[in-house]
Amino acid sequence: MDHALTFQKIKEQVELPELLTHFGYNLKKGEDLGKGKWHVFEGDDTLVVFKGRGNDWMYFNSHDDRDKGSVIDWMKNRVNSGRIVGIEQQPGRNVWQTVNDHFRAYLNLPEDQRPKLELPPISETAPGEKFQSIYTKDCRPLENTTYLESRGITKSTIETPQFAGRILNQFHTVQKEGMPAKTFVNTAFPAYHEGRVVGLELKGEGYKGQAPESEFSRSLWLSKLPEGRPAAHMVVAESALDALSYAQMHPGEKALYASTAGVLTQNKIFEMKRLLNEERICTVKAAFDNDTQGHHYDTRLLAGFASEQNPMKVVREHKHLLTVEVTAINPAGVQALTNHLKAYNDQTARQYGQQSGETNTQAVSQTLRDELISSTKLGPHTYQFHVPMNREALGAFNQGMTQSLTFDHKIEIVKSRGKDWNQDLKESQMQQVVKRELGSVQHKPEPPAQEARRRGPKL
């Protein structure tokens, strides 16, 4: 093989379907919807493979809208993620050199070790064609509410004018060889960007996904505005189901409801800001999940809405540590935040000492240090805060920020008691059933330590 292996040569010589097969993906059969347009491969994720302009192989991940592009992008994203055995960063090589190395090794395999696929012909697909086909041909007004009702969403909530036309049914027909065609009815939540539908979040019994070519990196699922606009606030949750659950549990709130479809990006924050300014809404209620990721999203949201008086940014997102940088000419806000975090650290240290019962050896000290929030001063007005990636530390940091720093809009963090608002809704409904069937039941109170862990630090 030619040692001057360029990315253009790789695109010409590597057939993406065969490369995927080599690394353990399987071609999904019976996909009538995409016949002649694309192929679906399943491995550690689900990839839709098609021919783009110029007849190059292209793909996108149906569960992660950041994972898409050419055969080169596929390899680069696997090098970065390390989620496929045999594809990893090479010592002393940067990511692009490593990508080239893996392609060179693949192309140097003997012919009998490289898979050969007999695939039906596939035509070039214009950008957006697959999504528009599904949205216009396979979506209908909401009639089948079985899935929503199974998740505790009542018909009275579904029929609220704010949600009219913002929830659809999507029909998906599968034809397996020798079997009659079977049609599945999913619940579809359209995602909007600047007033235009650019994506579909799909939910069904035992199924969740996205319509091909959905643009979720910059869009939001949105309710309609309440009657007598403007809305008092925007409630933003991780899923449309959680937003509906929150609305059902808080009837009468004059809110615009939004969902990030499980991913909060800077572009989604830009879209929120645009909507808030356009509709003259002053307050955002962050109703993300009550877990580590939900609190992490709170931090991202606060950083995205920070005012010019104390701009901030997330500069590092490690698995165990989040680093946030704040620039503030007036030190009063940063000092108030620092005092708040010191109180959290002192309380965490006391709780650790009580639970461990160990002396303050160097090993114990290091274990404790990993649970504390620390800070460094980079310049006269610039500070970095290093926050452990756990619910309690992130919650304390976010609480301190909302109380100490300034933002372009008022930010309120509202948390469910359980993992998310839909879980709270179903638990509330279960309690109502128990009360109706068995009468008032005296619940045994939680032990103080268990309640403290659930609620997090009280500073």
Query: What 3-state class would DSSP assign to 388?
Result: strand
DSSP 290: S
Separation CA 112–CA 34 (nearest Å)? 30
Separation CA 312–CA 301 (nearest Å)? 11
pLDDT in tens, 257-289: 999 988 899 999 999 999 999 999 999 999 999
Percent of the chain with pLDDT over 90: 55
Determine, yes or no, domain membership for 84: yes
DSSP 119: -
Dihedral of CA atoms 172, 207, 168, 159 in degrees, nearest 10, equals 140
Check residue 56 and give its pLDDT. 84
Nearest to 247 by CA among 174, 324, 167: 167
Those residues with Cβ within 8 angstroms of residue 56's Cβ, 6 or more apart along the chain or in another chain: 11, 70, 71
Determine, yes or no, domain membership for 33: yes
Those residues with Cβ within 8 angstroms of residue 169's Cβ, 6 or more apart along the chain or in another chain: 139, 140, 141, 142, 143, 144, 185, 186, 187, 188
Check residue 365 and give its pLDDT. 75
* Domain around 120: 7-125
pLDDT in tens, 330-349: 889 999 999 999 999 999 99
* Spacing of C-alpha 105 from chain mean position: 34
User: Has residue 454 got a pLDDT over 70?
Assistant: no
pLDDT band at 315 (very low <50, low <70, confident <90, very high): very high
pLDDT band at 131 (very low <50, low <70, confident <90, very high): confident
pLDDT band at 136 (very low <50, low <70, confident <90, very high): confident
Bridging pattern class, strands 168-174 and 382-388: unpaired
pLDDT band at 456 (very low <50, low <70, confident <90, very high): low
Give this prediction's pTM.
0.69
Check residue 121 and give its pLDDT. 65
Separation CA 453–CA 401 (nearest Å)? 21
Cβ atoms of 157 and 145 within 8 Å: the answer is no
pLDDT band at 307 (very low <50, low <70, confident <90, very high): very high
User: Has residue 329 got a pLDDT over 80?
Assistant: yes
Instruction: Copy the structure tokens of residue 59.
Output: 């793909």
Which range is least confidently modeled, 12-21, 91-100, 147-156, 364-373?
Answer: 364-373
Check residue 384 and give its pLDDT. 96
Q: Give the mean pLDDT of 44-73.
A: 80
Which range is least confidently modeled, 249-253, 340-344, 437-441?
Answer: 437-441
Separation CA 301–CA 286 (nearest Å)? 8
Check residue 33 and give its pLDDT. 41
Q: Give the mean pLDDT of 392-418.
A: 96
Cβ atoms of 389 and 321 within 8 Å: the answer is yes
Q: Give the mean pLDDT of 308-324.
A: 93
DSSP lists the bridge partners of residue 68 as: 60
Determine, yes or no, domain membership for 433: no
pLDDT band at 308 (very low <50, low <70, confident <90, very high): very high
Which range is least confidently modeled, 4-13, 260-269, 278-287, 303-312?
Answer: 4-13
Check residue 457 and give its pLDDT. 55
Q: Which helix (H) or strand (E) holds 149?
A: helix 146-150
Which range is least confidently modeled, 8-17, 169-178, 300-309?
Answer: 169-178
Check residue 128 and give its pLDDT. 57
Check residue 126 and give its pLDDT. 53
Determine, yes or no, domain membership for 36: yes
Which range is least confidently modeled, 121-135, 195-209, 217-231, 257-271?
Answer: 121-135
Which range is least confidently modeled, 206-210, 346-350, 423-427?
Answer: 206-210
Determine, yes or no, domain membership for 226: no
pLDDT band at 31 (very low <50, low <70, confident <90, very high): very low
Check residue 447 and give its pLDDT. 57
pLDDT band at 43 (very low <50, low <70, confident <90, very high): confident
Separation CA 457–CA 342 (nearest Å)? 12
Check residue 52 and give its pLDDT. 73
Separation CA 226–CA 224 (nearest Å)? 6
Which range is least confidently modeled, 28-37, 44-53, 139-148, 352-361?
Answer: 28-37
Check residue 1 and give its pLDDT. 43
Determine, yes or no, domain membership for 341: no
Q: Which residues of 317-330 are buried (b: 16+ CB within 10 A; e: fewer)?
A: eeeeebbbbbbbee
Determine, yes or no, domain membership for 73: yes
When divided into structural domains, the chain yields a total of 1
Determine, yes or no, domain membership for 71: yes
Mean pLDDT taken over the chain: 86
